[in-house]
Amino acid sequence: MYQSSIPVFIKNLENLSAILNKAATHAEVKKIDQSVFLNARLFPDMLPLVRQVQIATDSVKAGAARLADVEVPSFEDLEKTFLELQERISKTIKFLQSIKSEQIDGSEEKKISYVQRGKESNFIGQPYLLNYVLPNLYFHITTAYAILRHNGLEIGKKDYLGNL
């Protein structure tokens, strides 16, 4: 469970961080206000880039905490710059690095219950990780990637996958 979670979460957040660095550089070179990218959406009813990053980090920190049976760290959603998003990613990675394999390994059958937006959710450890946390991480990172690519950032599959 640990190998399928923490290292995967960290690698994907590092890849997202690298993409955001490219976006910040692109905005600076092209003299485009960062907020243009940070508030960009793929479609009017979808969340903007900044929320995609916030939710990606929230998903993995909550997932790791619930699997490890520790308190979920709370981050305010106040980021308005690429630098602030980078700091959020760094805080999330630091939290993930504090989780040890002994805390997560063996959590395949762990009962996980929590309330989010007034709705109670109940899961079992392994399906929670494989069918909820990981898909959420990939969805929000992919959407962030797509927003930036759609807005002219020259990135490709290698940027999404990072160094293999």
pLDDT of residue 117: 87
pLDDT of residue 12: 98
| Structure tokens given for 74 | 């709370």
- The alpha-helical segments, DSSP class H, found in the chain are 6-30, 34-38, 49-68, 82-98, 101-104, 125-128, 134-150, 157-161
User: Is residue 116 very low, low, confident or very high in pLDDT (cuts 50, 70, 90)?
Assistant: confident
pLDDT of residue 163: 86
Look at the alpha carbons of 67, 71, 73, 76 in this order and tell me if their dihedral is positive or negative. positive
pLDDT of residue 29: 97
96: helix, strand or coil? helix
CATH of the domain at 57: 1.20.120.450
| Structure tokens given for 138 | 């990939």
Q: Tens of pLDDT along 50-107?
A: 999 999 999 999 999 999 999 999 999 999 999 999 999 999 999 999 999 999 999 9
Q: Tens of pLDDT along 124-163?
A: 999 999 999 999 999 999 999 999 999 999 999 999 999 8
| Structure tokens given for 157 | 């599959």
Q: Tens of pLDDT along 97-110?
A: 999 999 999 999 99
Residue 141 in contact with residue 12, Cβ under 8 Å? Answer: yes
Residue 1 within a domain: no
Look at the alpha carbons of 31, 37, 42, 45 in this order and tell me if their dihedral is positive or negative. negative
Residue 25 within a domain: yes
The residue type found at 48 is P
pLDDT of residue 8: 98
How many independent structural domains does the chain possess? 1
User: Which of 73, 80, 75, 72 is CA-nearest to residue 49?
Assistant: 80
**Domain containing residue 58:** 6-161
Query: Is residue 164 over pLDDT 90?
Result: no
Residue 49 within a domain: yes
**Distance between alpha carbon 6 and the CA centroid of its chain, in Å?**
12
User: How high is the mean pLDDT of the chain?
Assistant: 97
Separation of alpha carbons 162 and 135, rounded Å: 18
